[in-house]
Structure 1
Amino acid sequence: MLIVMAGLPGSGKSTVAEGSATALGLPVVSVDPIESAILSAGIDADQPTGLAAYLVAETIAESVIASVGGVIVDAVNAVEPAREQWVKLAARRGIPIRFVEVVCSDENVHRARLEARGRQLAHIAEPTWHAVEQSLDEWEPWSGESGAVPRITVDSVHPVPVLVDQIAAFVRS
């Protein structure tokens, strides 16, 4: 199975993805460390490194699916073309896909998490709260191919084990 995380920066996607990976016995492919690696290779930041990172993540995810049968992809996936990329991957590999949208309904908690996080990605600055607000403005509705895929929305104000249980039940149904 292909499980694709989606949500704003700092919403808790990576934490929930890691907890879900442990519970479901699946590896995680995360876009941000890939983009940091691309930038560390000397590629200019004004190049489409985000797009390149999504394409590299897709290649890695496809390889992981071929070897272990499933993967969790950790990325913002704010726009329909990004989400459709994963739908097409699942179709190519003939496996089911599920989207997990992570939100944080408490703006103060979301902002505090964002400001406190330090992911040690040498070439990617942590986004500011203003950048998150801009991401929200650019968030595209779930439509097209991704709109037809089963999706659960979880609120990261709840404890991670509760969210992991919800996700595990969702993907097993």
Structure 2
Amino acid sequence: MLIVMAGLPAAGKSSVAERLGRALPAAVVPVDPIEAAMWSAGVDRGQPTGLAAYLVAEAVADGVLALGQSVIIDAVNAVEAARQQWRTLADRHRVPVVFVEVVCSDLRVHQQRLERRSRGIVGFEEPTWQAIQERRAEYEPWTEHRLVLDSIADLASNVTKAQEHLTEAAQPPQPAS
């Protein structure tokens, strides 16, 4: 199965992805450390490293899926082109793709989380609250079903909801009676 996390920075998607990765188990492929590694290797920040990081994440996920293992992509996935990238990968491996969007319905809490977080990704600067607001304005509407989790709820509850949703998604469709 290909599980694709989505949501704005600091909404809580990485926390859900990490817990799900341990519980399933599934490999978690986060895009931000990939991009930071490119910069560390000397790739100029003026280059389209965000796009390149998505492509590297796709290549890693492709290898994991080829081994018959589940993988979780941890990225913003704000635009339809990114979401289509994951649908195409899942189709190539004939596995289900499940989108899980994490939101934070309380903007004040979301901003506080951003300002307090320190993920320890060497060379990766956290976005500003202004940058997240700009991203929010550019976030494209969804065209397909997804599980939406609100990170105002406790993490354990959200992970349980995600696990239940994934279990349902893994079931083959039942013939009409």
Is TM (by shorter chain) over 0.5? yes
* Aligned equivalents of 1:163, 1:51: Cα separation in 2: 29
Match of 1:51 in 2: 51
* Aligned equivalents of 1:91, 1:152: Cα separation in 2: 20
**Structure 1 position 100, deviation (Å):** 0.1
Match of 1:168 in 2: 163
One-letter amino acid of the structure 2 residue matched with residue 171 of structure 1: L
SS at match of 2:16: helix
Task: Count the aligned residue pairs.
Answer: 168
One-letter amino acid of the structure 2 residue matched with residue 156 of structure 1: S
Match of 2:40 in 1: 40
Match of 1:5 in 2: 5
1:152 corresponds to which of 132, 140, 147: 147
SS at match of 1:140: coil
* Aligned equivalents of 2:102, 2:44: Cα separation in 1: 30
* Aligned equivalents of 2:119, 2:163: Cα separation in 1: 26
**Structure 1 position 66, deviation (Å):** 1.4
* Aligned equivalents of 2:152, 2:126: Cα separation in 1: 21
1:65-76 alignment, distance < 5 Å: 65-76=65-76
SS at match of 2:131: helix
**Structure 1 position 68, deviation (Å):** 4.2
One-letter amino acid of the structure 2 residue matched with residue 44 of structure 1: D
**Structure 1 position 170, deviation (Å):** 0.4
Identity %: 53
- Structure 1 window deviating more from structure 2 (98-107 vs 18-27): it is 18-27
* Aligned equivalents of 1:40, 1:66: Cα separation in 2: 29
One-letter amino acid of the structure 1 residue matched with residue 64 of structure 2: V
For structure 1, list consecutive stretches of 5 or more residues without a partner in the other structure.
Answer: none
TM-score, normalization by structure 1: 0.95
CA radius of gyration, larger in:
2
Provide, for residues 72-96 of structure 1, a one-character-per-residue CA deviation record: whole Å limited to 9, x for no partner.
Answer: 1000000000110000000000000
Match of 2:85 in 1: 85
Whether 1:21 and 2:16 are equivalent positions in the alignment is: no
Structure 1 segments (4+ residues) deviating >3 Å = none
For structure 2, list consecutive stretches of 5 or more residues without a partner in the other structure.
Answer: 169-177
* Aligned equivalents of 1:44, 1:27: Cα separation in 2: 28
Match of 1:142 in 2: 142
Provide, for residues 13-61 of structure 1, a one-character-per-residue CA deviation record: whole Å limited to 9, x for no partner.
Answer: 1001011112211110000000000111111101000000000000000
* Aligned equivalents of 2:90, 2:52: Cα separation in 1: 19
